[in-house]
A and B are shown apart, each in its own frame.
Chain A
Amino acid sequence: MKQKRFGKWAAPLVLAVSLLVSACGTSETSSVGAEVEAKDLVVGLTGDPVSLDPHNATDTISSLINYQILDTLVAFNDKMEIVPRLAESWTVSEDGKTWTFKLRQGVTFQDGTPFNAEAVKTNFERLADKSKKLSRRVLIGQFIDKITTNGDYEVVFQLNTPQGPFLNNLAVTASGILSPKSIKENEQGIAKNPVGTGPFTFKEWTPGNQVVLEANQQYWGGKPGVKSVTFKPVPENAARVIMLETGEADVIEKVPASEFERLKSNDEVQVISRPTNRVLYIGINTTVAPFDQVKVRQALNYAIDRETLVNKLYEGRVKLATASVAAQTFGYSDVGAYAYDVEKAKQLLQEAGVKEGTKLRLILAANVIQDRPAAEFVQNSLQKVGFDAELKILELGSYLETLKDPSTYELFVRGAAASTGDADSVLSDGLLSTSATNYSHYANPKVDEWIKAGSAQTKPEERQKSYAEALKLIKEEAPWISLHEDVGYVGIRKNVEGVEVQPTYIWDLRKVVKK
């Protein structure tokens, strides 16, 4: 084995050493200069961004790229606490409707436009404009009554209703500040050429090939540690890992579980894990019999052996979910997971009059490969309690199309990710009766009330209480089978430092250095 290894490396080694020697011999100055010079960083992602207009993009990859180009007024630190970014300080009125932000001075956009209160106003007026149909209007835009400026560096948000998660919603890329010049002059062009105040300037995007960003030398937070960042879409897992191993990529997204052991023995790379606030769940379509009965939904919950799922199928690489929102989310409280009890499940099904061999369709989107084992596990578990469970793996497009028609599915696999780090983003998205993405079609006036109360209250303790009530009721009524909290795995070469991975799957490359 050793000999073989030596044989494999001998030729490149000799070559490298001889090159090094010759390089040192001829020009000492240039080799010293190369040490100091910032390098190019290559990042392997699972796909292409959809749109680089932060106010309209909803996918994680677009947000991840935009996070490096844009700044937000406030930001999350690695503990998901709110810290200042473009705003230096802020105050909120007693009724929770008026927010005043003091802005950082001396910041300029990448196109030379100065950053000031007027720029912030232009951005949020764009987000609030209903006629522009921006998909991220729901976060901040819909609550804005009026925005006024007070001098160059103070901006006042007048909201139409108090908003508990307001600061969290301001901290995500979807509330990123674009250059007002780009909004006024070429609004359609933003999706292909975003201009912000961030550490990297957008250079080019060749769809299917790469997105290139260049370091913003004038960045107010200090010059970035790399010269450029190139994001490459590499959907095939194995290919991405090989790129990391060969050094073709410095950082890769979503290292597949099957590669951990092997990568551990590689001295040049490391895999960092970060618990995320995405809860994987099986949604139950509550509009079709027999799943309109609470007993049947509880039975489904009792039928799943979550301990085995977490510890054996995923080999302990995910965490057991103990509520509909993840532990890292504001508003989380431990309401406990259903225990594994086949007898009880069967008994409940019998009481509800569910016959052996009842058919059910479980749908899964083909692109979320990490969820497929869980889906097959659930299918198997439901078969054990007497269902004839069919698993349909659909392309993302037809999966979303299927979800629009409640007569075409009984169960669906979906991840609930709290992109704002707040329970509100999960609950009002997936369980509020009026939400368009409530695919369980779960409607409970009491739960609605608690969810709405949680978002309208401004005192954290009160909000926490409202969400606790909501989560308790949701567990009892079981519109979801919550399975586990995802853990994000990012592969990084050892010569790269400072990649900050957040629980929302977003990485911050502001402090990244490549040696």
Chain B
Amino acid sequence: MSDTDVSVQVATQAAEVSYQRRSPWASMLRRFRKNKRALVGFWMVVVFVGIAVFAQAIAPYDPIEQNMDVILQPPSADHLFGTDEYGRDILSRIIYGSQISLMIGIVGVLISVVIGVGLGTVSGYFGGRTDMFIMRIMDIFMAFPSFLLALAIVSVLGPGMVNVMIAIGIFSVPTFARISRSAVISVKNKEFIEAAKSMGASHARVIFKHVLPNSVAPIIVLSTMRIATAILTASGLSFLGMGAQPPTPEWGAMLSTGREYLRTAPHVSTIPGLAIMFMVLAFNMLGDGLRDALDPKMKL
């Protein structure tokens, strides 16, 4: 840490103030800010979210408007990333595509957080046969390679964006269930839980007031990392034609159709590929940083 860095000093001061209140969040924030890689990841995610939110204002063209006069043009001043086989502006498609990728990533992970954490908490808190039953089902899910599982789910439900989100939601459930179960188990025998129970608190109250808030850290970290996996999986499914249907500017689908022109117009497939790479990288770096900041000993 450099002494001249004002923001860091402020952070340190803030941390010192809160140290008296022993807030774990403040110390986490301090550790996070020290981690350059995490910050880069964080700002990249911020930029992607910004692009997605303001897509309409930023995009120079309509992403699905075909213009047969300018097909397969290389990058130029008019079309910064060139055009595809229908004369559509690739930059605009990338910009709108970020909305789709982020949405799939976030909604998919939200689905698995709600189901996975729910199952994991119940399992860990009650233990015994409930635990046995839920965790064996999760084990069965875990036995399948995750991408194959997602592919199988989409094949059953039929291609389409909503079905991809559901598939991604389901395929991450077992991971969330396991992590939250172990977090709950480590918390549930602490004295303050016992105290709450002895004061007559209901199971629901104990879970929501005491157990969950104390096991949330690993779930935040896992969610961030899983968003990256979700985006990658969704692109993979769209690449195979099981995800977004044309003319949706989904990156994986763009990569797949551009493959045909790989040797004559390589920009058509490489640019969406780079976009996927940077977004996945951003979430992974952010997730790594959060993990280091929240609990350096935690292994995920």
Assembly CA distance A393 to B66 (angstroms): 19
Residue contact A391 to B246, C-beta cutoff 8 Å: yes
Residue contact B263 to A256, C-beta cutoff 8 Å: no
Q: A256-B260, A262-B263 are in contact. Are A377 and B159 (CB under 8 A)?
A: no
A167 to chain B, nearest CB (A): 40
Question: A390 within 8 Å of B by Cβ?
Answer: yes
Q: A238-B259, A308-B68 are in contact. Are A376 and B241 (CB under 8 A)?
A: no
Residue contact B259 to A373, C-beta cutoff 8 Å: no
A188 to chain B, nearest CB (A): 32
Q: Is the interface of A mostly helix, strand, loop or mixed?
A: helix
Residue contact B263 to A312, C-beta cutoff 8 Å: no
Considering the complex, give the chain A residue whose CB is closest to the CB of B160.
A392
Assembly CA distance A154 to B63 (angstroms): 67
Assembly CA distance A261 to B257 (angstroms): 19
Q: What residues on B are CB-neighbors of A474 within 8 Å?
A: none
Residue contact B260 to A377, C-beta cutoff 8 Å: no
Q: A258-B264, A391-B245, A393-B246 are in contact. Are A313 and B64 (CB under 8 A)?
A: no
Question: B127 within 8 Å of A by Cβ?
Answer: no
Q: What residues on B are CB-neighbors of A393 within 8 Å?
A: 159, 241, 245-246
Residue contact A392 to B66, C-beta cutoff 8 Å: no
Residue contact B69 to A379, C-beta cutoff 8 Å: no
Considering the complex, give the chain A residue whose CB is closest to the CB of B257.
A372
Assembly CA distance A461 to B263 (angstroms): 50
Question: A428 within 8 Å of B by Cβ?
Answer: no
Q: A379-B247, A390-B245, A393-B241 are in contact. Are A373 and B86 (CB under 8 A)?
A: yes
Question: A380 within 8 Å of B by Cβ?
Answer: yes
Question: A259 within 8 Å of B by Cβ?
Answer: yes
Residue contact B86 to A261, C-beta cutoff 8 Å: no
Question: B131 within 8 Å of A by Cβ?
Answer: no
Residue contact B245 to A238, C-beta cutoff 8 Å: no
Q: What residues on B are CB-neighbors of A308 within 8 Å?
A: 68
B154 to chain A, nearest CB (A): 12
**Which of A238, A312, A313, A391 contacts B260 (CB under 8 A)?**
A238
Residue contact B245 to A377, C-beta cutoff 8 Å: no
Question: A108 within 8 Å of B by Cβ?
Answer: no
**Which of B86, B241, B259 contacts A377 (CB under 8 A)?**
B86
Q: What residues on A are CB-neighbors of B260 within 8 Å?
A: 237-238, 256, 258, 369
Residue contact B247 to A380, C-beta cutoff 8 Å: yes
Question: B292 within 8 Å of A by Cβ?
Answer: no
CB interface residues, B 234-271, toward A, < 8 Å? 241, 245-247, 257, 259-265
CB interface residues, B 10-66, toward A, < 8 Å? 64, 66
Report the interface size for chain A: residues with CB under 8 A from the other chain: 24
Q: What residues on A are CB-neighbors of B246 within 8 Å?
A: 375-376, 379, 391, 393
Q: What residues on B are CB-neighbors of A243 within 8 Å?
A: none
Question: B71 within 8 Å of A by Cβ?
Answer: yes
Residue contact B159 to A392, C-beta cutoff 8 Å: yes
Q: What residues on B are CB-neighbors of A238 within 8 Å?
A: 259-260, 262-263
Q: A380-B247, A392-B245, A393-B241 are in contact. Are A261 and B264 (CB under 8 A)?
A: yes
Question: A335 within 8 Å of B by Cβ?
Answer: no
A265 to chain B, nearest CB (A): 12
Assembly CA distance A341 to B237 (angstroms): 38
Residue contact A380 to B66, C-beta cutoff 8 Å: yes
Assembly CA distance A375 to B262 (angstroms): 21
Question: A352 within 8 Å of B by Cβ?
Answer: no
Residue contact A312 to B69, C-beta cutoff 8 Å: yes
B25 to chain A, nearest CB (A): 46
Q: A238-B262, A366-B241 are in contact. Are A373 and B247 (CB under 8 A)?
A: no
Q: What residues on B are CB-neighbors of A373 within 8 Å?
A: 85-86
Q: A312-B69, A373-B85 are in contact. Are A259 and B247 (CB under 8 A)?
A: no
Residue interface mask B63-81, A partner, CB < 8 A = 1: 0101011010000000000
Q: What residues on A are CB-neighbors of B85 within 8 Å?
A: 373
Considering the complex, give the chain A residue whose CB is closest to the CB of B259.
A238
Residue contact A259 to B264, C-beta cutoff 8 Å: yes
B133 to chain A, nearest CB (A): 36
Assembly CA distance A358 to B247 (angstroms): 18
Q: What residues on A are CB-neighbors of B257 within 8 Å?
A: 372
Residue interface mask A362-406, B partner, CB < 8 A = 1: 000010010011011101100000000011111000000000000
Assembly CA distance A380 to B64 (angstroms): 8
Residue contact B247 to A376, C-beta cutoff 8 Å: yes
Residue interface mask A482-493, B partner, CB < 8 A = 1: 000000000000
Residue interface mask B210-250, A partner, CB < 8 A = 1: 00000000000000000000000000000001000111000
Q: What residues on B are CB-neighbors of A377 within 8 Å?
A: 66, 86
Considering the complex, give the chain B residue whose CB is closest to the CB of A309.
B68
CB interface residues, A 316-341, toward B, < 8 Å? none
Considering the complex, give the chain B residue whose CB is closest to the CB of A389.
B247
Assembly CA distance A256 to B68 (angstroms): 19
Q: What residues on A are CB-neighbors of B71 within 8 Å?
A: 312-313
Considering the complex, give the chain A residue whose CB is closest to the CB of B261.
A258
Q: What residues on A are CB-neighbors of B262 within 8 Å?
A: 238
Assembly CA distance A375 to B85 (angstroms): 13
Assembly CA distance A377 to B86 (angstroms): 8
Q: What residues on A are CB-neighbors of B259 within 8 Å?
A: 238
**A residues whose Cβ falls under 8 Å from a Cβ of B:** 237-238, 256, 258-259, 261-262, 308, 312-313, 366, 369, 372-373, 375-377, 379-380, 390-394
A237-B260, A372-B257 are known contacts; what are 11 more A-B pairs with Cβ within 8 Å? A238-B259, A258-B260, A258-B261, A258-B265, A312-B68, A313-B68, A313-B71, A373-B86, A379-B246, A390-B245, A393-B245
8 smallest A-B Cβ distances: which pairs?
Answer: A312-B68, A258-B261, A380-B66, A308-B68, A258-B264, A391-B246, A376-B246, A258-B260
Q: List 18 A-B contacts (CB under 8 A).
A: A238-B262, A238-B263, A259-B263, A259-B264, A261-B264, A262-B263, A308-B68, A313-B68, A373-B85, A376-B86, A376-B246, A377-B66, A380-B64, A391-B245, A391-B247, A392-B159, A393-B241, A393-B246
